[in-house]
Amino acid sequence: MASIEIEKLEKSYGHVSVLHGIDLDIRDGEFIVLVGPSGCGKSTLLRMIAGLEDVSKGEIRIAGNRVNDLHPKDRDIAMVFQSYALYPHMSVAGNMSYSLRLRKTAKEKIGAAVAGAASKLGLEPLLERRPKALSGGQRQRVAMGRAIVRQPKAFLFDEPLSNLDARLREQMRAEIKKMHADLKATSIYVTHDQIEAMTLADRIVAMHGGVVQQVGSPLELYDRPANLFVAGFIGSPGMNFLDAAYLGGAAILKDGSRIAVNSPAAVQEGSGLTLGIRPEHIVITTDGSGMRAGVELVEPTGFGIILHLSMHGLPVKVFTLDRQALALGGEVTVSFPAEHVHLFDDEGKRIG
Amino acid sequence: MKQSLLPIVAHRLAILCYIVFALFPLFWLLKVSVTPNDLLYSEGVRMWPSRTTFDHYAFVLRHSAFPTFFKNSLIVSASTAVVVTACASLSGYALSRFSFRAKYWIVALMLLTQMFPLVMLVAPIFKILSPLGLTNSLTGLVVVYSAFNVPFATFLMQSFFDGIPKDLEEAAMIDGATKFTAFRQIILPLTLPGIAATLGFVFTAAWSELLFALMLINGNDAATFPVGLLTFVSKFSVDFGQMMAAGVLALIPAGLFFLLIQRYLVQGLTAGAVKG
């Protein structure tokens, strides 16, 4: 196991710059999730750590050693691919033992390592099979098994669950988490799925446009998103954003509604800002207080209900556990608790 | 749901027609080769002669230079197939995996070579090979055939390499393989169907090539089988029975070859590598 340090890392293809100076310290044994939309550079960053992409500028250190110019085979890391990338002409056991065979490990040791990994992942009955005779979930397990047999310095995961169906994804997510608790291996996990990020990560690295937007624990990102991008990306359904102006200690919406906010430190009177509030934090009031909104769409999820409201033309989503609120075409009153209101300045940065 | 019979019958009939159409000339080859000479012109058009004989085969094998032609063809075709496939594997891999300067122009140039009618090249090639002592020699034929087949075979191999996900090589490199080890242990075994197809394609192309063999070879010693077939045509007559018998014999190696490699041709060896 090892720590990984990334310093001022840049990547460009010709004139197109993909990563703009990434700094990241990953502690020994930490589970880091790189999350962001397609094209944000998260996979490129992972592949650079693996050695599959050249470094344009900056430095990557694994266990304190600069690895920029090191071939992937000499970095002692394991990677689980989105496509699994199992060797089709080798059995499951052959796939899992390939790295050890390349290192000329003793036969008994290989046998023990493969048996150990197989029992951990429930692959014992499949060891002699070829990949094409396996289901998607089983292939995924073999890919993980191939990574854990050799106890590398770090595990890299490149969207490993995105080819699985929802149920299986949930199950494998839990297994990855268990495996990490078990092995305490430094892991870097790339996903665009914020649920995976929230559930797996010790720390999340939210990326957008080749720039790190925020690094922090899942709850930090959820509770105190650093900017509009993170606020909108983390959480489902996504956070509501409303344009507002700051006047007299309150946010004034476009329709004129006044929303009390915890007075932020340095906001100029009259300046424009964006108000954000998560659907699950909006309260549907029963005493008639608050703002009136029309119900435009009702999406029951079983667990709760997502209401699409219109506040004088401003769209607002509300998530509620209260089934009584189901009143299509009707009207409800809502309030925004001040402690849950996030404010962002006109550059999208968090205020306060 | 009960499927209606008509489309199935029509489908099978269509396939049958196609097979009959494709195989009929071969059947005729076989038929003529076993027809005794005295019946060849006297019986009219019949599907099968009233009497059959293997005399033509016996004559071809014992009294003609056919065994020499056969041996020459085998040497030339097999050597060409091996040389071309080896070159095409490497160049196809390069075109599929590496990006390098002038790649576009190299591909364009290779395509360009495929555009000229070969007849145009007969004279210059003869001029080139003659001072090198490569006319009237099997080596010369191998060189010429290889030159003509490498571009197409390269594209063929490239498409097979393109079909193998890059992830597999990357996984191998992360597992501890060098680029060459990954090529040898992971990519090459998966390209066996492609290699078999290329071998087969080049072998048959060389086996049936007539133009250059005719132009570059004279005399029976270095003649390949297509040239040899022409020896059955004399000034005043064509010995059809013997010619057809030789033709049937010449089909055997090509048939055997495809029998050997057909397992690779039909097998989707890459199934299961990635999702799907």
The residues spanned by each domain of chain A are 4-233, 240-351
DSSP B83-130: HHHHHHHHHHHHHHH---TTHHHHHHHHHHHTSS-THHHHHHHHHHHH
Residue B201 banded pLDDT, cuts 50, 70, 90: confident
φ, ψ at A307 (rounded to 5°): -105, 130
pLDDT of residue A150: 85
Identity at A82, one-letter amino acid code: Q
The CATH number of residue B172's host domain is 1.10.3720.10
My answer on whether B48 and B93 are in the same domain is no
Taking CA–CA distances from A162, the nearest residue in chain B reads B275
| In the predicted structure, residue A326 carries a pLDDT above the cut 70 | no
pLDDT of residue B1: 55
SS3 content of chain A, % helix, strand, coil (to 5): 30, 35, 35
Mind listing the pLDDT tens digit for each residue in A161-214?
988 888 889 999 999 999 899 889 999 999 999 999 999 999 999 999 999 999
Mean pLDDT of chain A: 91
Residue B35 lies in a domain: yes
Mind listing the pLDDT tens digit for each residue in A256-305?
888 888 866 667 778 888 999 999 999 998 887 888 899 999 998 888 89
Look at A72 and B173 and tell me if their CB atoms are within 8 Å.
Answer: yes
Range of the domain at B34: 1-53
Residue B181 lies in a domain: yes
Residue B266 banded pLDDT, cuts 50, 70, 90: low
C-alpha–C-alpha distance, residues A143 and B133, integer Å: 58
pLDDT of residue B269: 43
Measured in whole angstroms, the distance separating CA B68 from the mean position of its chain's CA atoms is 20
Q: Which residue has the higher pLDDT, A239 or B199?
A: A239
* Tally of CB atoms within 10 A around A86: 28
DSSP B184: I
The dihedral sign for the CA sequence A8, A13, A19, A20: positive
Contact assessment for residue A67 and residue A51, using Cβ atoms and an 8 Å cutoff: yes
My answer on whether B140 and B177 are in the same domain is yes
Look at B271 and A72 and tell me if their CB atoms are within 8 Å.
Answer: no
Which of these ranges, A78-82, A100-104, A139-143, B62-66, has the smallest mean pLDDT?
Answer: B62-66
| In the predicted structure, residue A78 carries a pLDDT above the cut 80 | yes
Residue B239 lies in a domain: yes
Residue B211 lies in a domain: yes
Pick the CATH number of A240-351 from 2.30.110.10, 2.40.50.140, 3.20.20.70, 3.40.50.300: 2.40.50.140
Residue B274 lies in a domain: no
My answer on whether B23 and B93 are in the same domain is no
C-alpha–C-alpha distance, residues B140 and B133, integer Å: 8
Residue B14 lies in a domain: yes
Rg (CA), chain B: 23
My answer on whether B42 and B66 are in the same domain is no
My answer on whether B23 and B122 are in the same domain is no
Residue A33 banded pLDDT, cuts 50, 70, 90: very high
Please report the ipTM that was assigned to this predicted complex: 0.85
Q: Which residues of chain B make contact with A139, given a CB cutoff of 8 A? A: 272, 275
C-alpha–C-alpha distance, residues A5 and B99, integer Å: 30
Mind listing the pLDDT tens digit for each residue in A122-152?
899 999 999 999 998 899 999 999 999 988 9
Distance from CA of A22 to the nearest CA of B (A): 23
pLDDT of residue B18: 96
pLDDT of residue B226: 85
Residue B225 banded pLDDT, cuts 50, 70, 90: confident
Supply A346's token pair: 């006109």
| In the predicted structure, residue B274 carries a pLDDT above the cut 60 | no
Mind listing the pLDDT tens digit for each residue in B79-93?
999 999 999 999 999
Residue B228 lies in a domain: yes
B269 touches chain A (CB under 8 A): yes
Mind listing the pLDDT tens digit for each residue in A242-265?
999 888 778 888 888 888 888 666
Contact assessment for residue A82 and residue B159, using Cβ atoms and an 8 Å cutoff: no
In which order are the strands placed within the sheet that holds A342-344?
Answer: A258-260, A250-253, A240-247, A272-277, A342-344, A350-351
pLDDT of residue B98: 87
Mind listing the pLDDT tens digit for each residue in B110-146?
888 888 888 888 888 889 988 998 888 889 999 999 9
Contact assessment for residue A107 and residue B247, using Cβ atoms and an 8 Å cutoff: no
Q: Which residues of chain A make contact with B181, given a CB cutoff of 8 A? A: 102
A89 touches chain B (CB under 8 A): yes
Mean pLDDT of chain B: 85
Q: Which residues of chain A make contact with B274, given a CB cutoff of 8 A? A: 83-86
State the architecture of A4-233 in CATH terms.
3-Layer(aba) Sandwich (3.40)
pLDDT of residue B45: 78
Q: Is A300 exposed, middle or buried (0-12, 13-18, 19+ CB in 10 A)?
A: exposed
Residue B103 lies in a domain: yes
| Among B residues 163-182, those touching chain A with beta carbons less than 8 Å apart | 165, 167-168, 170-178, 181
Taking CA–CA distances from B176, the nearest residue in chain A reads A73
Distance from CA of A258 to the nearest CA of B (A): 53
Nearest to A87 among B173, B178, B186 (CB): B186
A86 touches chain B (CB under 8 A): yes
pLDDT of residue A325: 59
My answer on whether B135 and B77 are in the same domain is yes
My answer on whether B91 and B3 are in the same domain is no
pLDDT of residue B271: 42
The dihedral sign for the CA sequence A210, A214, A217, A219: negative
C-alpha–C-alpha distance, residues A126 and A146, integer Å: 14
My answer on whether B87 and B203 are in the same domain is yes
My answer on whether B179 and B42 are in the same domain is no
Nearest to B176 among A86, A87, A99 (CB): A99
Q: Based on the structure, what is the number of domains in chain B?
A: 2
* HSE of B206, CA atoms in CB hemisphere, 13 A: 36
* A&B contacts, CB < 8 Å: 83
For range A35-61, the mean pLDDT:
93
Q: Which residues of chain B make contact with A99, given a CB cutoff of 8 A? A: 175-176
Nearest to B273 among A77, A86, A98 (CB): A86
pLDDT of residue B268: 43
Q: Under 8 Å CB-to-CB from A201, ≥6 apart: which residues?
A: A31, A32, A33, A189, A217, A218
The tokens 């004088």 sit on which residue?
A: A312
Look at B272 and A133 and tell me if their CB atoms are within 8 Å.
Answer: yes
My answer on whether B138 and B257 are in the same domain is yes
Residue B224 banded pLDDT, cuts 50, 70, 90: confident
My answer on whether B135 and B182 are in the same domain is yes
Q: Which domain-ending residue is among B10, B34, B53?
A: B53
For range B187-210, the mean pLDDT:
86
For range B40-58, the mean pLDDT:
83
pLDDT of residue A129: 93
pLDDT of residue A156: 95
Residue B264 banded pLDDT, cuts 50, 70, 90: low
pLDDT of residue B37: 83
φ, ψ at A189 (rounded to 5°): -125, 125
A101 touches chain B (CB under 8 A): no
Q: Under 8 Å CB-to-CB from B185, ≥6 apart: which residues?
A: B172, B177
My answer on whether B135 and B17 are in the same domain is no
pLDDT of residue A248: 79
